[in-house]
């Protein structure tokens, strides 16, 4: 298995060597000579998809669009067995996806944008396909105000899945204020008392398991794994209680949980009907840090070497495509090829230029391509218009990003 970490063995390196040479050749063959360039390795993408489906053990995977932000990639994935529906990140995005033919789009986050809510309420196609996420009565009021007397709209409830081992300590994302089955039930009653809302689902995202690497050696890794085990037991109980409570009121269409890093524990919960995943398809840098699975890197961006500040330093044009989250080293793109390149200690990847140091820099000529992997989600698609799709030695397709389609949702 290819691995961009410096620990890669020699055989791996040779295989990787050949692979990047093949990328270079394929791009040249397709006359894709401009940099930056985005490249999606479809073989790795497919292998990742297969691995996710295996890890989900029979529960359908809802594709998290924020990790891709490429419509063709979403459609390609939804065409495979084991995947069903999209977990979108904004309402305008969901409407657009629905109107472009995706029949099941759950918006994973609440919306307070009156015009977006109004647009949803007035689109027959979208109302049929899109499910709004709510966790507060005020959100219901916002919808009613934006589209008074609107036709029936599908909604799902977001429940907090963070882990609180002791009073005052919260591990995980601050999302929904609804923590207990009773909290969830109270909102469900408010939804059901409104004639034109249809409660169809429940979601709870255990980010502290799904999105926190647990592969570190030593005390820290042990602690993270112990926290994740305890948190999995906690959310298992709470999700089951919430589902049991909601089932006193409605027959839910779906109960969504988890993400790429938590498929194993989430899918084992009998209350869960589907899991979510996105990053696992492309295997960005932050997903190198898990013990129980290792996606293959499937999405790269290539930058041109444009300058040589010193014998073992080159500078590429671009590179500062930093991921969201608490700002830190781990949010930076990973230089992937040639191996051994590092950022300068005093200077990270810049908005226009990025110096890289290391032995490999000596061998690079101006105009050569350095390949990077982004750290987290949709960073590449936010910067590029097209992604070259590589398969078996050739560029077989080119997929426009959301950006290329004129969609800057967030």
Partner 1 sequence: MRNPRIPGLSKSGTWRNWASSAMATPDTVAMPRDEAEVMELLGAANDTGSTLKVVGGAHSFTPLAATSGTLLSLDHFSGIIRVDLPTNQVRFRAGTRLRDIGRLLEPYGLALANMGDIDHQSLAGAINTSTHGTGLAFTGFSGAVTALRIILPDGEARECSPTLNPGLFQAARVGLGALGVLTEITLQCVPRFKLHAREEPEPLAGMLESFVDRVVLSDHLEFYWFPYTDTALAKTNMRLPDDAPLDPVPWHGRLISDELVGNAAFAALCQVGAKIPATVPPINKLAAKALAVRSYTDQSERVFVAPRRVRFREMEYSVELAALPEVFAAVRTALESHPQKISFPLEVRATGADDTWLGTASGRQSAYIAVHRYAGEPSREFFQAMEQVFVHYGGRPHWGKLHTRDSSYLSSVYPRFDEFLAQRDAADPQGTMLNEHLRHILGR
Q: Which residues make up the interface to partner 1 (CB under 8 A)?
A: 181-183, 185-186, 189, 192-193, 245, 248-249
Q: Dig out the tokens for 345 from the structure.
A: 């200690």
Provide φ and ψ at 195, rounded to 5°. -60, -30
Q: Which is nearer to partner 1, 19 or 186 (CB)?
A: 186
Strands 353-357 and 342-343: antiparallel
Identify whether the C-beta of residue 407 lies closer than 8 Å to the C-beta of residue 400: no
Q: Which is nearer to partner 1, 14 or 189 (CB)?
A: 189
CB of 185 to partner 1, least distance (A): 4
Q: How far is CA 180 from CA 156, 204, 276, in A?
A: 16, 12, 22
Q: Which residues pair with 276 in a beta bridge?
A: 62
Q: How far is CA 275 from CA 261, 264, 337, in A?
A: 11, 10, 33
Q: Dig out the tokens for 189 from the structure.
A: 């009653």
Provide φ and ψ at 21, rounded to 5°. -60, -40
CB of 153 to partner 1, least distance (A): 18
Q: Which is nearer to partner 1, 46 or 136 (CB)?
A: 136
Q: Which is nearer to partner 1, 107 or 153 (CB)?
A: 153
CB of 209 to partner 1, least distance (A): 27
CB of 154 to partner 1, least distance (A): 18
175 vs 161: CA distance, rounded Å? 8
- Return the residue matching tokens 């469900």: 188
CB of 192 to partner 1, least distance (A): 5
CB of 200 to partner 1, least distance (A): 16
Q: Which residues pair with 88 in a beta bridge?
A: 107
Identify whether the C-beta of residue 121 lies closer than 8 Å to the C-beta of residue 98: no
CB of 268 to partner 1, least distance (A): 22
280 vs 363: CA distance, rounded Å? 33
Q: Which is nearer to partner 1, 223 or 249 (CB)?
A: 249
Identify whether the C-beta of residue 94 lies closer than 8 Å to the C-beta of residue 88: yes
Q: Which is nearer to partner 1, 32 or 250 (CB)?
A: 250
Q: Which is nearer to partner 1, 112 or 249 (CB)?
A: 249
Closest CA to 294 of 64, 87, 2: 2
Identify whether the C-beta of residue 106 lies closer than 8 Å to the C-beta of residue 97: no
Q: Which is nearer to partner 1, 232 or 245 (CB)?
A: 245
Running DSSP on this structure, what letter comes out for residue 171?
Answer: B
CB of 178 to partner 1, least distance (A): 11
CB of 186 to partner 1, least distance (A): 5
Q: How many CB atoms lie within 10 A of CB 329?
A: 8
Identify whether the C-beta of residue 247 lies closer than 8 Å to the C-beta of residue 235: no
Q: Which is nearer to partner 1, 115 or 270 (CB)?
A: 270
Helices (H), 62-123: 71-78, 91-99, 114-122
């Amino acid at each position: 298995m290819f691995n961009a970490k410096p620990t890669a063995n020699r055989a791996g390196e040779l295989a990787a060597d050949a692979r990047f040479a093949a990328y270079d050749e394929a791009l040249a063959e397709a006359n894709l000579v401009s940099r930056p360039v985005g490249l999606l390795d479809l073989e790795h993408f497919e292998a990742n998809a297969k691995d996710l489906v295996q890890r989900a053990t029979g529960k359908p995977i809802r594709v998290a669009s924020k990790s891709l932000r490429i419509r063709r990639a979403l459609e390609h994935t939804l065409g495979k067995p084991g995947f069903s529906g999209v977990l979108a990140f904004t309402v305008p995005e969901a409407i657009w996806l629905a109107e472009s033919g995706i029949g099941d789009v759950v918006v994973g986050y609440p919306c307070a944008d009156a015009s977006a809510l109004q647009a949803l309420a007035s689109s027959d196609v979208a109302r049929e396909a899109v499910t709004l996420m709510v966790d507060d009565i005020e959100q219901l009021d916002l919808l009613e105000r934006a589209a008074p007397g609107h036709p029936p709209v599908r909604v799902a409830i977001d429940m907090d899945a963070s882990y609180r081992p002791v009073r005052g300590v919260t591990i995980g994302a601050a999302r929904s204020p609804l923590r207990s089955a009773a909290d969830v039930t109270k909102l469900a009653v408010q939804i059901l008392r409104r004639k034109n809302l249809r409660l169809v689902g429940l979601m709870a995202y255990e980010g502290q398991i799904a999105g926190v690497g647990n592969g570190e050696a030593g005390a820290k890794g042990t602690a993270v794994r112990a926290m994740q085990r305890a948190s999995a037991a906690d959310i298992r109980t709470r999700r089951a209680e919430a589902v049991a409570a909601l089932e006193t009121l409605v027959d839910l269409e779906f109960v969504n949980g988890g993400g790429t890093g938590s498929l194993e524990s989430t899918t084992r919960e009998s209350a869960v009907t589907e899991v979510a995943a996105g990053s696992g398809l492309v295997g960005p840098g932050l997903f190198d840090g898990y013990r129980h699975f290792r996606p293959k890197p499937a999405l790269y961006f290539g930058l041109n070497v444009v300058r040589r500040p010193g014998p073992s330093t080159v500078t590429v044009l671009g590179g500062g495509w930093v991921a969201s989250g608490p700002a830190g080293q781990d949010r930076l793109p990973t230089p992937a090829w040639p191996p051994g390149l590092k950022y300068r200690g005093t200077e990270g990847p810049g908005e226009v230029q990025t110096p890289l140091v290391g032995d490999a820099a000596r061998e690079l000529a101006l105009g050569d391509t350095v390949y990077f992997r982004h750290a987290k989600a949709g960073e590449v698609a936010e910067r590029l218009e097209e992604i070259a799709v590589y398969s078996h030695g050739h560029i077989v397709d080119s997929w426009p990003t959301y950006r290329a389609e004129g969609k800057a949702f967030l």
